[in-house]
Amino acid sequence: MVKHTKLYIGLLLAGTCLLAGAIFWGCAEESTTGPGGGHEVPFALGITDDSGGTHNGAALLYVTFGENAKSDATHVKSVRTNSPPIIDGAVDGVWATAPTSIVACAPMSGNNNISAATMKSLHTATDIYFLVSWVDPTGTENTRRHRYTYNNGTWSENDENEDRVFFMWDIGGTADNNRTFAEAGCTVACHGDMHPLKGKADFWHWKATRTDPVSYSDDQYGDSTGRSSDDGSSAYDDNGELPTPDYQAPGDPGANASFLYRNVSGKPNAAPYSSAGWKNGDELAAYVNKIPSGSRGDIHAKGKYNDATNTWTVEFKRALNTGHADDAAITTQ
């Protein structure tokens, strides 16, 4: 079985500049913070609805700091707090201290009909937090990416993907041959596997199937050589290569567990796969979730899906400065 992971990742944001460039070319000039408006750091946002290629978002936004910092459709004001939120996808009361920015989401590669995202930000002396929520246009909590199904002695995978959120930051000198990241946002990185021609960009990539079960976001970067994962191990491994999975849930056959885990506190370890006892319609997760390590494990993130409102809410936490060369250092002044 081929997971096509690289293809899906490349497609997720490759194409951002094709349409977003036309929409957002003027953002840097129009959104510059005026005197006394506080300190600002540019970033980009992309949201995917169960698709590797179709995504909507904003090519150039700013997180702003300071008492007089802007808060509007392109500026997300980060408020200092001594009582940071718990990263569990629930909206703690402390989030009420941060203003809400309603960010317009434009089609970037196709159109998934996500028209807007609600954003907030908080920070402490050491960490920054983001709250991102949006209405899922299909009304579906997509957490079944490539799930395996048993039928007459054979396992097959579905063609579902997963819901995702993507942030991009400038590590240093991110640009193409025409503009810098500060001027054009992620449109400078729309080349092949989504990477800049110059400098280095930082990618935060929350994935509803592959990273959310262990409350993390994937952490990657891009430079002139292509797109790569940060040093360390990821939050997921493939569950073998079909026709033979590597793992099953402790209660299998027939448990139909939503996720499989290895070495995650409070979660049962997946058991080695056995071919005996399966019935038609039994399912297995296509990934085994685990705690990431090293620089790839810098970003804590957790989402919750509200069935009544068809809304995803995802919280992020990362150190302002991780000390790693593959991460952007976010300054507050």
Query: 146-201 pLDDT, tens per residue?
Result: 999 999 999 999 999 999 999 999 999 999 999 999 999 998 887 667 789 999 99
Q: What is the C-alpha separation between 113 and 270, in angstroms, rounded?
A: 37
Which residue, 219, 217, 222, 159, is CA-closest to 14? 222
Which residue, 82, 79, 60, 61, is CA-closest to 69? 79
Which residue, 163, 133, 131, 154, is CA-closest to 63? 131
Torsion of CA 107, 22, 179, 322, to 10 degrees: -20
Q: How many CB atoms lie within 10 A of CB 143?
A: 21
> In 3-state terms, what secondary structure has residue 188?
helix
Which residue, 78, 95, 328, is CA-closest to 204? 328
Which residue, 35, 30, 47, is CA-closest to 311? 47
All residue ranges of the chain with pLDDT < 70 are 1-37, 191-192
For 273-300, write each residue's pLDDT tens digit. Answer: 999 999 999 999 999 999 999 999 999 9
Which residue, 204, 199, 161, 160, is CA-closest to 180? 199
Task: Please give the distance of CA 30 from its chain centroid, rounded to a whole number.
Answer: 27
Q: Which domains, ranges and CATH numbers included, belong to the chain?
A: 5-147+158-234+294-319 (2.60.40)
For 308-322, write each residue's pLDDT tens digit. Answer: 999 999 999 999 999
Strand partners, 123: 80, 128
| Placement of tokens 């540019």 in the chain | 42
